[in-house]
């Protein structure tokens, strides 16, 4: 876009560059970076637990395996249980060992309701270490 003045003698075009949009964009970017940089550098202070003796290695316990079949049957170890029996059994095992680890292996075709009921039974029993058994694709 050329700017000039109106005269009958000659028409001169101005060769000035309009830098106002450039300054506007740069100011917006400056403001955005000024606001986002403190958020990006913000850290959460954590106090991580330490072991009393770092050279001493303890063997992890083998988890209690809960299998849920495609038909919704619960198997705790080798024992087939109903939902109420599972709740009672998990409650007894959690009282005997509060650090019990529960590994849930559910069939991929089982209705999620059965898995949710097993998770609720584990929560009600007081189990806090619950994991899911998965299959490696390779």
Q: Is residue 102 part of a domain?
A: yes
Dist CA 35 CA 48 (whole Å): 30
Q: Is residue 86 part of a domain?
A: yes
For residue 127, give the CATH number of its domain.
3.30.420.270
Predicted pLDDT of residue 57:
58
CB 103 within 8 A of CB 83: no
What mean pLDDT value characterizes the chain? Answer: 82
Read off the pTM.
Answer: 0.56
**Rounded average pLDDT over 6-35:** 82
Poorest-pLDDT segment among 16-25, 37-46, 62-71, 103-112: 37-46
Q: Is residue 91 part of a domain?
A: yes
Q: Is residue 36 part of a domain?
A: no
Predicted pLDDT of residue 68:
92
- Give 55's pLDDT tier (boundaries 50, 70, 90): low
CB 31 within 8 A of CB 20: no
Predicted pLDDT of residue 63:
86
Region class of 62: left (phi > 0), else alpha (psi between -120 and 50), else beta: beta
Write out pLDDT tens, residues 106-134.
988 889 999 999 999 999 999 988 988 88
Q: Is residue 29 part of a domain?
A: no
Q: Is residue 23 part of a domain?
A: no
Q: Is residue 33 part of a domain?
A: no
Predicted pLDDT of residue 121:
93
Phi–psi pair at 24, nearest 5 degrees: -60, -45
Q: Is residue 30 part of a domain?
A: no
Instruction: Find the domain containing 129 and state its range.
Output: 64-133
Report which secondary-structure segment, H or E, holds 35: helix 20-40
Q: How many domains does the chain have?
A: 1
SS3 at position 75? strand
Per cent of the chain over pLDDT 70 is 76
Poorest-pLDDT segment among 35-39, 73-77, 90-94, 128-132: 35-39
Does the pLDDT at position 28 exceed 80? yes
């Amino acid at each position: 876009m050329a700017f000039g003045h109106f005269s009958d003698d000659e028409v001169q075009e101005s060769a000035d560059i309009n830098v106002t949009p450039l300054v506007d964009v740069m100011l917006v970017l400056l403001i955005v970076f000024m606001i986002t940089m403190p958020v990006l550098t913000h850290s959460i202070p954590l106090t991580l637990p330490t072991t009393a003796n770092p050279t001493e290695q303890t063997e992890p316990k083998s988890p209690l395996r809960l299998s849920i079949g495609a038909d919704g049957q619960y198997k705790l170890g080798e024992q087939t249980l109903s939902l109420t029996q599972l709740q009672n059994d998990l409650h007894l095992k959690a009282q005997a060992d509060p650090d019990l680890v529960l590994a849930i292996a559910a069939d991929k075709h089982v209705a999620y309701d059965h898995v949710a009921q097993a998770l609720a039974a584990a929560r009600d029993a007081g189990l806090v270490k619950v994991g899911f058994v998965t299959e490696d694709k390779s």
